[in-house]
């Protein structure tokens, strides 16, 4: 029998432990061979060493989650317990992408995020698809920073189409960078988590990290670079073809997008959807789909995504039923 004590320092206990210690009770239920007791700001664990290591890993992941989002829900606990499906030692070695600022450990927090990491290691071109909040962009940025730190590439290039709710850069005030910044705020936030402020500033000034609108990729060959195309659902067919043919020697490319959130003008086909169809049989390309189960945000975000997915499925069913009726009526005529 081994005992471990975890002390929670400068953490509002209700926000972390949950109402009436519900979060800790859920962990205890998942590991019935161990005894887990919370008293004050201490969590006391008693049990066999291998299981204590796994419990410790779950609690550490929850602490990282708390420091990033400010609270922990029972659903979060359930997700992290499910993620802890293999021995702690193997998980710790294989899952960490990089160590960011202030002790931040960046690693996948869901099975599909893990698939994205694995696909990026195996393939030079990866499509990461899924709704907002699934971590696809954050993981992609982490992989890019990791490659730069390990000197696998010489630079990071991050781009996205400047199309949002029918607007484009020309309608916005300011110079190019000021116009583009609002579109790229999630990228800046991710980079700020992973690269010290002074170094990030230096990287941008020396173009080691370059952030530019997609239109500026035309005519370039992107070699020795980790390239991220974000919000690719808003590319046209011509734009995504242009981007894909920019890949140069020793390049890694991740393309992220949410096919349910296309902001292109009506009747304009998404280049992302078309590219996925055209390239479906091309070897060496990874495609990873994330879903509402991968959302690491407020629990309501999952419910919202599920409601929209249900509505879209029902509309598809109604459309198919209408087409079947129309076909039958036409045949009868």
Helix axis angle, 237-244 relative to 271-278, nearest 10°? Answer: 60
pLDDT at 92: 43
For residue 319, is pLDDT > 60? yes
Strand segments (E) across 185-284? 209-213, 225-229, 252-257
- In whole angstroms, what is the distance from residue 51 CA to residue 128 CA? 34
Establish how many alpha carbons lie within 13 A of residue 53's alpha carbon, considering only the half-sphere containing its beta carbon: 11
Give mean pLDDT, residues 155-159: 93
For residue 204, is pLDDT > 70? yes
Residue 197 CA, distance from chain mean position: 22
Q: Label the pairing between strands 225-229 and 155-160.
A: parallel
- In whole angstroms, what is the distance from residue 142 CA to residue 310 CA? 32
Q: Give the CA angle between residues 260, 265, 268 to the nearest 5°.
A: 75
Q: Is the pTM of this model over 0.85?
A: no
- In whole angstroms, what is the distance from residue 308 CA to residue 303 CA? 9
**Band of pLDDT at residue 163, cut at 50, 70 and 90:** low
CA distances from 19 to 12, 69, 71, 90 (A): 12, 17, 12, 33
Give mean pLDDT, residues 277-297: 85
**Band of pLDDT at residue 71, cut at 50, 70 and 90:** confident
**Band of pLDDT at residue 178, cut at 50, 70 and 90:** low
Give mean pLDDT, residues 255-274: 84
pLDDT at 274: 93
For residue 166, is pLDDT > 70? no
Give mean pLDDT, residues 78-96: 58
pLDDT at 61: 82
Mean pLDDT of the chain: 83
First to last CA, the chain: 80
For residue 106, is pLDDT > 70? yes
User: 83 or 92, which is more confident?
Assistant: 83
Contact 82, 68 (CB under 8 A): no
Residues of the chain with pLDDT > 90, as a percent, come to: 30
User: 139 or 75, which is more confident?
Assistant: 139
- In whole angstroms, what is the distance from residue 41 CA to residue 34 CA? 19
For residue 86, is pLDDT > 50? no
Listed in sequence order, the residues at least 6 apart from 147 whose beta carbon sits closer than 8 Å to its beta carbon are 153, 156, 226, 252
**Band of pLDDT at residue 85, cut at 50, 70 and 90:** very low
For residue 167, is pLDDT > 60? no
Backbone angles phi, psi at 120, to 5 degrees: -65, -30
- In whole angstroms, what is the distance from residue 287 CA to residue 304 CA? 24
Residues of the chain with pLDDT > 70, as a percent, come to: 86
Q: Which residues, listed in sequence order, are joined to residue 42 by a DSSP beta bridge?
A: 7, 39
pLDDT at 90: 41
Burial of 246 (0-12, 13-18, 19+ CB in 10 A): buried
Q: How many beta carbons lie within 10 A of that of residue 28, not counting itself?
A: 17
User: 272 or 10, which is more confident?
Assistant: 272
Q: How many beta carbons lie within 10 A of that of residue 132, not counting itself?
A: 16
pLDDT at 242: 92
pLDDT at 264: 78
The per-residue pLDDT for range 131-150, each reduced to its tens digit, is 888 889 999 999 999 999 88
Contact 73, 28 (CB under 8 A): no
Establish how many alpha carbons lie within 13 A of residue 92's alpha carbon, considering only the half-sphere containing its beta carbon: 11
- In whole angstroms, what is the distance from residue 34 CA to residue 166 CA? 56
Give mean pLDDT, residues 57-63: 85
pLDDT at 298: 58
User: 220 or 146, which is more confident?
Assistant: 146
């Amino acid at each position: 029998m081994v005992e471990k004590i975890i002390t929670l320092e400068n953490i509002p206990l209700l926000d972390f432990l949950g109402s009436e210690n519900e979060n800790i009770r859920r962990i205890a239920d998942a590991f019935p061979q161990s005894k887990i007791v919370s008293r004050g700001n201490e969590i006391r664990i008693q049990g066999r060493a291998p299981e204590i290591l796994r419990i410790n890993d779950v609690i550490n992941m929850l602490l990282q989650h708390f420091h990033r989002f400010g609270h922990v829900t029972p659903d979060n606990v359930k997700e992290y317990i499910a993620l802890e499906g293999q021995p702690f030692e193997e998980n710790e070695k294989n899952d960490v992408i990089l160590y960011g600022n202030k002790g931040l450990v960046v690693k996948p927090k869901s099975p599909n995020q893990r698939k994205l990491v694995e696909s990026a290691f195996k393939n030079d071109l990866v499509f990461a698809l899924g709704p907002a909040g699934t971590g696809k962009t954050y993981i992609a940025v982490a992989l890019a920073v990791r490659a730069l730190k390990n000197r696998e590439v010489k630079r990071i290039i991050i781009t996205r189409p400047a199309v949002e709710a029918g607007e484009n850069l020309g309608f916005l005030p300011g110079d190019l960078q000021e116009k583009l910044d609002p579109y790229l705020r999630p990228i800046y936030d991710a980079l700020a988590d992973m690269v010290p402020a002074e170094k990030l500033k230096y990287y941008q000034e020396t173009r080691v990290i370059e952030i530019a609108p997609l239109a500026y990729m035309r005519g370039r060959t992107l070699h020795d670079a980790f390239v991220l195309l974000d919000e690719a659902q808003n590319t046209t067919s011509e734009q995504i073809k242009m981007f894909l043919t920019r890949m140069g020697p020793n390049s890694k490319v991740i393309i992220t997008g949410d096919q349910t959130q296309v902001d292109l003008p009506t009747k304009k086909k998404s280049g992302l959807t078309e590219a996925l169809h055209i390239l479906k049989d091309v070897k060496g390309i990874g495609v990873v789909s994330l879903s509402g189960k991968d959302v690491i945000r407020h629990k309501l975000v999952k419910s919202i995504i599920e409601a929209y997915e249900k509505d879209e499925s029902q509309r598809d069913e109604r459309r198919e039923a209408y087409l079947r009726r129309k076909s039958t009526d036409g045949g009868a005529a």
